[in-house]
Amino acid sequence: MASAEQHHILERPNFDKPVKLLIVVSPYYKDIADNMVAGAKAEIEAAGGAWDLIEMPGALEIPTAIGISDCSSNFDGYVALGCVIRGETTHYETVCNDSSRAIQLLGLQGLCIGNGILTVENRKQAEVRADPADQNKGGGAAAAALHLIALSRKWGNQSKGIGFKPASENTLMAGSTGGNTTA
């Protein structure tokens, strides 16, 4: 059983400037979602961060909401929270695979996302994983987003020295042939 295993948890990152995260949750299973949100909020606040919260109807809408939010907002990162419990049809596989794949693609584009969409066989597994006093997967997803934000800030201003760079004003002025210039 997973709860008997030992897991290493990274130290919480420190930030020079405040961080702001968007928690995107599907409250399809409201009690499970509420526990995950509580864990995520506590982790973000423990790191000195701020958060906002939006709800989506299901797990499939979460990546789209993150994509829309990233185009229209100033969040440093995102926490995706929801729960998919296996049912009698193949819809479970579709929701699990497609929501995970879409979140991964957004991450590969540079978004800092902690994926806390539970994919479980039954309600009991979900309850244990969502409980902030037990496996706290909501807090874990927030921690993942915080670590990605820290990495992004660490390397975000560095340049690999390739590609085109905009000319500075001094370069433009020095190359100018017309108009009044003063030395």
Question: Mean pLDDT of successive 10-residue segments in the chain (183 residues)?
Answer: 72 94 98 98 98 98 98 96 95 95 97 98 98 97 98 78 58 50 43
Residues in Cβ contact with 168 at an 8 Å cutoff, skipping those fewer than 6 apart:
none
- Asked, for residue 165, whether it belongs to a domain, the answer is no
Domain of residue 124 covers 18-156
Q: Calculate Rg over the CA atoms of the chain.
A: 21
Residue 137, domain CATH? 3.40.50.960
According to the model, what pLDDT value does residue 45 have? 98
According to the model, what pLDDT value does residue 6 have? 80
Side by side, which strands form the sheet with 77-85?
50-55, 20-25, 77-85, 113-120
According to the model, what pLDDT value does residue 1 have? 45
Which of 128-165 are b and which e, b meaning 16 or more Cβ less than 10 Å from the residue's Cβ? ebbbbeebbbbbbbbbbbbbbbbeebeeeeeeeeeeee
| Cα(3)–Cα(18) distance, integer angstroms | 33
| Cα(24)–Cα(63) distance, integer angstroms | 9
- Reading the block at residue 27, the tokens are 């409250």
According to the model, what pLDDT value does residue 183 have? 45
- Residue 91 annotated among the catalytic residues of the structure: yes
Between CA 116 and CA 167, with CA 110 as vertex, the angle to 5 degrees is 160
According to the model, what pLDDT value does residue 160 have? 57
- Asked, for residue 81, whether it belongs to a domain, the answer is yes
According to the model, what pLDDT value does residue 2 have? 53
- Asked, for residue 182, whether it belongs to a domain, the answer is no
Model-wide pTM > 0.85: no
According to the model, what pLDDT value does residue 5 have? 75
- Asked, for residue 112, whether it belongs to a domain, the answer is yes
According to the model, what pLDDT value does residue 156 have? 78
- Asked, for residue 169, whether it belongs to a domain, the answer is no
| Cα(3)–Cα(135) distance, integer angstroms | 7
- Asked, for residue 180, whether it belongs to a domain, the answer is no
- Report how many domains make up the chain: 1
Residue ranges of E strands in the chain:
20-25, 50-55, 77-85, 113-120
- Asked, for residue 109, whether it belongs to a domain, the answer is yes
User: Which pairing describes strands 77-85 and 50-55: parallel, antiparallel, or unpaired?
Assistant: unpaired
- Asked, for residue 151, whether it belongs to a domain, the answer is yes
Nearest to 21 by CA among 42, 37, 44, 54: 44
Which of 7, 8, 91, 147 is catalytic? The answer is: 91
